[in-house]
């Protein structure tokens, strides 16, 4: 495990993220690139909305969902699938229709869905967490294309970053309070995971690991909540690159753009006083940088 993992002001190449949209999101999360439309989908969890942003023009459309929404993904059949407070829903962006397709902890109003992502075989993974952030109240779930829901990991606290290695044999996962990125062996056919082991840890003073994405070289980009940035790590935790973000609560990241060479970064202003913090006027905005490496197209649910 590298001693550099998570260093907040590292002696590695540093980039600076630039503003795309000053959205003032309460809790921006879950960016996913839609190559067909040339837009980025992302969510404001506490704002109960989905954003559709065109980075070429800065146009930002907002779709109300009517409940807390933790993550959104593309469907192979068109439209979106999302993880919301009471389960998984299908969203038709053209009509605004939101349809509950698989309830999860629907009767428990003390929990909500958080971050999620589609795996290489078209299954959608997302985890619940306590609204009051209490420990061990959540579960990581898997939604199969036949809409069957399977609880996979219980006793989680704040399910966050998910992604898969280039060969698809490893699933990376972040439960934020552990300060770790963990790895599992991933079975393509069944969707089962096994053999949980720590991949690397991030020191608390560097921020808390949140959303995550894997690039075309197999490195992990991890957003650091209260860390003012995003770090690029090798699978064993060597810090390779750093992106400075002018907001302390960097929440997630995803590659996009026509050449998949842009890194989009969501941020938040959770717990800020009314009017925000003077030193962070752009907190809650969507940011972007060109990190010098490309990403991958996101997997589609049911694809």
Catalytic residues: 210
Nearest to 101 by CA among 149, 150, 51: 149
* Cβ proximity of 243 and 230 under 8 Å: yes
Q: Which residues of 263-280 are buried (b: 16+ CB within 10 A; e: fewer)?
A: bbbbbbbbeeeeeeeeeb
Residues facing 127 on adjacent strands: 140
N-to-C CA span, the chain: 35
Pairing assessment for the beta strands 149-156 and 138-143 based on DSSP bridges:
antiparallel
**What gap in Å lies between CA 272 and CA 186, rounded to an integer?**
39
Task: Show the 3-state SS of 225-250.
Answer: ECCCEEEEECCCCCEEEEEECCCCEE
């Amino acid at each position: 495990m590298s001693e550099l993992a998570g260093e907040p002001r590292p002696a590695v190449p540093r980039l600076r993220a630039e503003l795309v949209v000053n959205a003032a999101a309460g809790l921006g999360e879950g960016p996913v690139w839609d190559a067909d439309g040339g837009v980025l989908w992302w969510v404001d969890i506490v704002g109960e909305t989905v954003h559709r942003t065109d980075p070429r023009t800065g146009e930002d459309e907002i779709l109300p969902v009517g409940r807390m929404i933790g993550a959104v993904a593309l469907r192979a059949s068109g439209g979106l699938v999302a993880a919301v407070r009471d389960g998984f829903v299908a969203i038709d962006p053209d009509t605004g229709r939101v349809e509950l397709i698989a309830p999860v902890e629907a009767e428990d109003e003390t929990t909500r869905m958080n971050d999620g992502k589609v795996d290489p075989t078209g299954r959608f993974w997302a985890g619940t967490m306590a609204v009051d952030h209490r420990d061990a109240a959540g579960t990581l779930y898997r939604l199969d294309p036949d809409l069957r829901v399977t609880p996979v990991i219980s006793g989680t606290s704040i399910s966050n970053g998910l992604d898969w290695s280039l060969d698809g044999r490893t699933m990376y996962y972040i439960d934020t309070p552990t300060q770790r990125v963990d790895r599992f062996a991933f079975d393509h056919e069944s969707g089962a995971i096994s053999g949980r082991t720590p991949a690397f840890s991030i020191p608390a003073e560097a921020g808390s690991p949140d959303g995550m994405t894997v690039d075309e070289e197999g490195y992990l980009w991890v957003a650091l909540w209260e860390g003012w940035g995003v770090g690029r790590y090798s699978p064993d935790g060597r810090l390779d690159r750093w992106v400075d973000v002018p907001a302390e609560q960097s929440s997630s990241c995803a590659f996009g753009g026509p050449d998949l060479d842009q890194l989009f970064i969501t941020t938040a202003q959770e717990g800020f006083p009314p009017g925000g913090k003077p030193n962070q006027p752009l907190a809650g905005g969507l940011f972007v940088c060109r990190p010098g490496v490309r990403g991958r197209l996101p997997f589609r649910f049911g694809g």
